Structure 1
Amino acid sequence: MASHEILGGKVLVYRRENSKRWQCSTRINGRNWRMSTGEDSLALAKEFAEDWFFRMKAKEKGGGLKDQKTFKDAAKRYLEEFDVVTGGTRNREYVGGNERRLRLYLVPFLGELGLSEVTAGKVQEYRVMRYNTSPEGKPPAKNTLHQEIVTLRQVLKTAIRHGWLTHLPDLSMPYRSAEKISHRAWFSGDEYKRLYTATRNRVDRHENGRFQWHAEQLHDYVLFMANTGLRPDEANRLQYRDVEIVIDEETGETILLIQVRGKRGVGYCKSMPSAVFPFERLLQRNLPKPEDLIFTGSHVMMFNAILEEEGLKFDREGNRRTAYSLRHTYICLRLMEGADIYQVAKNCRTSVEMIEKYYASHISTSISAAAVNVKRKTKSKKQIIEHAKRNAHRGV
């Protein structure tokens, strides 16, 4: 770490190895104070540090210098205000996840630091800590760490709104190169047929047995998910009163009109006709009340066992298939059938950009051979000579 003392050692100007900007620190009233200069130039950073030091001393004489708010203070205020800022629209599980990330990881590491001390270097130290102290030596997943940094950013934005912090530090991952975009694991048409055939055979195997109900539920779950495109968490929250059997006015087919409650609030989904029979079987089997959940319990063990038996647990790129793969299967099969990508995105409550990035670029039918295999007509030698003669005659 490069460092320089100014004002007779009263102020230290320093720059961390992974940062381009200089920071400054001093000690007043027995407490260390730090501040980012926001400057890449050492000369400009020293000027900023001198001005900052004298302003701090002026505040000290006037009695206006107070201890700055800590990260713990900002985290507490963030949790208190989150529902107000978002209008109460965010899912309770999402809010609970943010509270858990703060309580278990972020506050224990950053809580006692002043907000100005939460620098890009400290954030990188946090990443290193999470990788080195994970249980069983297994580092956290990339998405897990990303969610923690997102929560950290939201807390710091809360501090900025209250004037406790002037600007956000650089929270980006250093030394990061562009990532290869991989497609989501899904079942091709033949693989999907093998899957639902296997779940149907599992029902026959457990007929009049202990696990008959579980096998029947799993079979209908697979068909329902692959013909609606719901996320697993959306399906787990789905109640019978959220689903209505209707006749679609445009196609004349019988489909399900589903009121979906997910991470983006309440949305609607129109199913494929093949989702109707599984839902009717669920009604006949469970004789539910309107507020009962459609899919109760977990079928993970049986689902994974079937995937292992059929050799479908991993796709050819090594991506692990889960219940989420049924949603990906719905999207990919709809695109392969020529469905409008905007309507698919709207029905799945996602964006066109997400579908183009993770689905459409890996499907062969998304490429028009007629538009790609264009051949420019070339002129024969005779045509070239005649064209030259005409130009010569015109004096061109």
Structure 2
Amino acid sequence: MAVKKAALTVIKSDAAISGKHRTSAQNLTQVPNYPKKLVIYQLAASPFWWVRYYADGKILRRSTKETDKRRAFAFAKDFYDEVNYRQRQGYVLNSRAGFEQCANAVIEQQDAKVQRKEMSEMMQQNDKYRLHKEVLPYFREYDLKNIDYFVIEGFINKLGKDKLTPPTISNYVGLVRKILSYAQRKGFIQAVPQIPKVKKVDAPRGWFTPRQYYQLWKCAGALVGETWEVRKWTNAKGEEESFVCERQTEKPKRATALSKKIAASKLMRRVQMTADLYNLIVFMKNSFIRPTDIKWMQHKHVEAIRGEHTYLRLSLPTSKKHDKPIVTMEKAVAVYERQRAMYYSEDKKENQAKPDDYVFLPEYSKKDKRGNALTSLQRQFGVVLSKTGLETGARGEERTLYSLRHTCIMYRLLYGDGVDLLTLARNARTSPEMIDRFYASHLEGEMNIGLLQSKRNKMKKPTD
């Protein structure tokens, strides 16, 4: 249970306390050999002694958590020393000098790092999201001094119950560590508490075999222009689950199993299927890019190269500290041109693609709306996965839009002729280690049986 409003809580006067908690002159006890402003007292609603001290024009109070008067005196003396130390250091004395204040200060510091190009804007946005989504709601009411190993462990357990993956939990804990480190540097706590380790278990996303990939883009093409609904219902076991169905514009003439299921369900969202997704599926399978690259990719980042080899050179914004251009497979060129032709007529000057126009779903033209563009594509892809029954892989691994990047890399590992791991990793803006852990982990010996059974040609004996 969180410790409510820790630190040095400020009250205007005893009269500000409700009648249930009001103190009186009869039960105020001065701490011996200390200033008269330092007293302990009891409240009708609490079994513990409380300490009160007047400093900087404020009345500061805190529960001693002690029922013994002698130990309450000892606590009051420590409280007095703490208040004076904070005054000497110029620290604020009220509860604002707590976890939330330190968290906001960390975010401000990181904003400055983004300006200096020492930190990516994406990492900063992720930290802001984590802070307001889970971190502040859990830690806001804790006294910084009361945050220890077990409090953080409780936070980790809470995230686990919310079904977050170990890598995601580790990111949340990393943000908590940053905030506590800042609190230590400011002198709010003496040391950063020991933090539980979150064991990271690699969970590679699923990829698509050629047959499954064919199913995906064929289905995506067939659904263009349709509106599908994501609905939630309670199954026979009493468990909530979601399903997708085509939007019902008319009431069916006769009841069917599906119509009964729809009637008993609740609408979560409607999803408009677009040709952008159809093109995106092919583009990602041939370009090595991440879904977040799609969000920010503009026409100025794309250059078509035609020569001995035909490909796109993608000079995308920095992602995960990688800034080198990506070169695509030849098929990506035709897909890009098809996508551009959907929105622009290159033979008309007034309707040509501008460098700053976004490639996919360009109607989301404002920077702060590009997240909505990616969400729309992800939701459309979710409908296609549900419709084709490809939500999970053979081993139960989850499939998302990111799985198309995995598919692209897997196809190079399986079908590329002599592609070395370093070249592949650099072009995909990752490391050989990550390729091995998250992409090549799907490789099995049988997939490259020809290579395993191949033999070198016998070397000819040198002749004079």
TM range (shorter): 0.5 to 0.7
Equivalence for 1:355: 435
SS of 2:136's partner is: helix
Q: Give how far 1:157 is off.
A: 2.6
Structure 1 CA distance, aligned partners of 2:200 and 2:117?
34
Q: Give how far 1:230 is off.
A: 1.0
The reply on whether 1:269 has 2:347 as its aligned counterpart is no
Equivalence for 1:242: 301
The reply on whether 1:294 has 2:350 as its aligned counterpart is no
Q: Partner letter of residue 320 of structure 1?
A: E
Equivalence for 1:281: 338
SS of 1:283's partner is: helix
The reply on whether 1:70 has 2:95 as its aligned counterpart is no
Q: Give how far 1:234 is off.
A: 0.9
The reply on whether 1:82 has 2:113 as its aligned counterpart is no
Q: Give how far 1:301 is off.
A: 4.9
Q: Give how far 1:228 is off.
A: 0.7
Structure 1 CA distance, aligned partners of 2:446 and 2:186?
49
Structure 2 CA distance, aligned partners of 1:268 and 1:257?
6
User: CA 1:368 to 1:294, structure 2 compared with 1: closer, same or farther past 3 Å?
Assistant: closer
Identity of aligned residues (%): 24
Structure 2 CA distance, aligned partners of 1:201 and 1:129?
42
User: CA 1:131 to 1:63, structure 2 compared with 1: closer, same or farther past 3 Å?
Assistant: same
Q: Give how far 1:342 is off.
A: 1.4
The aligned runs of 1:52-63 (5 Å cut-off) are none
The reply on whether 1:311 has 2:332 as its aligned counterpart is no
Structure 2 CA distance, aligned partners of 1:74 and 1:304?
39
User: CA 1:63 to 1:333, structure 2 compared with 1: closer, same or farther past 3 Å?
Assistant: closer
Structure 2 CA distance, aligned partners of 1:217 and 1:312?
20
2:204 to 179, 183, 193: 183
User: Is this contact kept in 2: 1:83–1:89, CA < 8 A?
Assistant: no
User: Is this contact kept in 1: 2:203–2:397, CA < 8 A?
Assistant: no
Structure 1 CA distance, aligned partners of 2:83 and 2:101?
22
Per-residue CA deviations over 1:134-161 (Å, capped at 9, x if unaligned) read xxxx555545433321211121233344
Q: Give how far 1:192 is off.
A: 2.0
Per-residue CA deviations over 1:275-300 (Å, capped at 9, x if unaligned) read 00001112222113221111114344
Per-residue CA deviations over 1:294-352 (Å, capped at 9, x if unaligned) read 11143445433433343323211122322111001011111222422112221121222
Q: Partner letter of residue 308 of structure 1?
A: S
Per-residue CA deviations over 1:155-189 (Å, capped at 9, x if unaligned) read 1233344454444322224xx7x665443210123
2:408 to 330, 341, 351: 330
Equivalence for 1:258: 314
User: CA 1:193 to 1:367, structure 2 compared with 1: closer, same or farther past 3 Å?
Assistant: closer
Equivalence for 1:192: 213
SS of 2:394's partner is: coil
2:155 to 126, 141, 145: 126
Per-residue CA deviations over 1:228-252 (Å, capped at 9, x if unaligned) read 111111112111111010136xxx2
- With normalisation by structure 1, the TM-score equals 0.65
- Relative to structure 2, which stretch is displaced further, 181-190 or 347-356? 181-190
Per-residue CA deviations over 1:242-276 (Å, capped at 9, x if unaligned) read 1010136xxx2110011212543644211111100
Equivalence for 2:278: 219
Q: Partner letter of residue 427 of structure 2?
A: N
Q: Give how far 1:367 is off.
A: 9.3
Structure 2 CA distance, aligned partners of 1:245 and 1:231?
19
User: Is this contact kept in 1: 2:299–2:357, CA < 8 A?
Assistant: yes
SS of 1:359's partner is: helix
User: Is this contact kept in 1: 2:220–2:278, CA < 8 A?
Assistant: yes
2:177 to 150, 153, 161: 153
Structure 1 CA distance, aligned partners of 2:390 and 2:298?
30
In structure 2, list runs of 5 or more residues that go unmatched: 1-50, 54-60, 65-76, 228-271, 345-352, 362-372, 454-464
Equivalence for 2:292: 233
The reply on whether 1:169 has 2:161 as its aligned counterpart is no
Structure 2 CA distance, aligned partners of 1:78 and 1:214?
41
Structure 1 CA distance, aligned partners of 2:341 and 2:99?
54
RMSD: 4.1
Equivalent pairs counted in the alignment come to 313
Structure 2 CA distance, aligned partners of 1:156 and 1:62?
18
Structure 2 CA distance, aligned partners of 1:77 and 1:64?
21
User: Is this contact kept in 1: 2:99–2:140, CA < 8 A?
Assistant: yes
User: Is this contact kept in 2: 1:94–1:263, CA < 8 A?
Assistant: no
User: CA 1:289 to 1:122, structure 2 compared with 1: closer, same or farther past 3 Å?
Assistant: same
The aligned runs of 1:134-145 (5 Å cut-off) are 139-145=163-169
Q: Partner letter of residue 253 of structure 1?
A: H
Q: Give how far 1:59 is off.
A: 9.7
User: Is this contact kept in 2: 1:70–1:115, CA < 8 A?
Assistant: yes
Structure 2 CA distance, aligned partners of 1:152 and 1:101?
10
Structure 1 CA distance, aligned partners of 2:130 and 2:86?
40
Q: Give how far 1:114 is off.
A: 4.2
User: Is this contact kept in 1: 2:153–2:196, CA < 8 A?
Assistant: no
Structure 1 CA distance, aligned partners of 2:436 and 2:309?
28
User: Is this contact kept in 2: 1:234–1:262, CA < 8 A?
Assistant: no
